[in-house]
Amino acid sequence: MAKPRYSRIPARKSSSSTLVLTMLIMFTFVILILLALRILSIPSSSGGNSPKANDLSSIVHNTMHRNDADEGRAEQWVEVISWEPRAFVYHNFLTREECDYLISLAKPHMQKSTVVDNETGKSKDSRVRTSSGTFLARGRDKIVRNIEKKIADFSFLPVENGEGLQVLHYEVGQKYEPHFDYFLDDFNTKNGGQRMATVLMYLSDVEEGGETVFPAAKGNISSVPWWNELSDCGKKGLSVKPKMGDALLFWSMKPDGTLDPSSLHGGCPVIKGNKWSATKWIHVNEYKV
């Protein structure tokens, strides 16, 4: 009498666990089928929504998304412009007061811009660069130090690696032909080594022209949302339109430390208005001032 009782109970246990197992397997199948049919999806940050490198059309989404949230306030956000070259725009990086202050410091000292002679390393006059400009000593006052601290935070590169800010002024017709910020001579890399990255801050709006253009950028350059607002020069590459307070960070070196030829860039001629900008060149080592 006892035996059937003992055998009955384990039998019931095993039949109920078989049932549970069967249901689990069926449930798993249903989930797999739903996943395969894309009715269900696993949340993932690296999923199908993340843009590919050089897919410049993804900028459209970022910009539109941001404009919705922006109600005329000086909201700050960083936008990836391109991965080749590595270029980023920090919107509203400087306040209007900071822009006006830098212009007021520079204005009394503006001189015709020069370029560096790649053979002698000396400054020389050139037709490829027709702006005027001046350098502001690094850390010269509290406001400049604060701006330089913000640049270090944005670029993740130390303040000591930066040259003094160069403030530039372009009037109608003035430009800077495409060039590299890195050097191909030994003379200019003695202090601080090679230039690694550049932060270009726009201190004024420009009505027409004056874009920063990257003619060697990879990707479909005409897919940027501001394409129709660009000058002919701006349409020769990936272009950033100057906007007061915005800062453009781009890298002259790839992550492996080699020079990046896609960092070729120029300042398009100003067609209408005035362009003021401030540039910070950042070296691989400390730049002694």
Ligand X SMILES: *[C@@H]1O[C@H](CO)[C@@H](O)[C@H](O)[C@H]1NC(C)=O
Q: Which residues bind ligand X (CB under 6 A)?
A: 57, 118-119, 184-185, 220, 222-223
CB of 222 to ligand X, least distance (A): 5
CB of 77 to ligand X, least distance (A): 23
For 145, what's the count of Cα atoms within 13 Å in the CB-facing half-sphere? Answer: 4
Nearer to ligand X, 71 or 186 (CB): 186
| Cβ–Cβ < 8 Å for 82, 249 | no
CB of 57 to ligand X, least distance (A): 6
CB of 227 to ligand X, least distance (A): 7
Dist CA 141 CA 98 (whole Å): 12
| Cβ–Cβ < 8 Å for 94, 245 | yes
CB of 114 to ligand X, least distance (A): 15
Nearer to ligand X, 126 or 132 (CB): 126
Report residue 61 as tokens.
Answer: 């989404």
Nearer to ligand X, 56 or 159 (CB): 56
Nearer to ligand X, 14 or 57 (CB): 57
Count CB neighbours of 193 within 10 A: 14
Nearer to ligand X, 105 or 224 (CB): 224
CB of 75 to ligand X, least distance (A): 26
- Encode 65-80: b = buried (16+ Cβ within 10 Å), e = exposed: eeeeeeeeeeeeeebe
Nearer to ligand X, 29 or 227 (CB): 227
CB of 54 to ligand X, least distance (A): 11
Distance of CA 244 to the CA centre of its chain: 16
The residue whose two tokens read 């910020």 is 181
Dist CA 53 CA 244 (whole Å): 28
Report residue 191 as tokens.
Answer: 């202090």
Nearer to ligand X, 70 or 185 (CB): 185
Alpha helices per DSSP H over the chain: 2-36, 58-69, 96-106, 142-155
Q: Which residues contact 53 (CB under 8 A, 6 or more apart)?
A: 83, 84
For 25, what's the count of Cα atoms within 13 Å in the CB-facing half-sphere? Answer: 6
Q: Which residues contact 123 (CB under 8 A, 6 or more apart)?
A: 114, 115, 116, 117
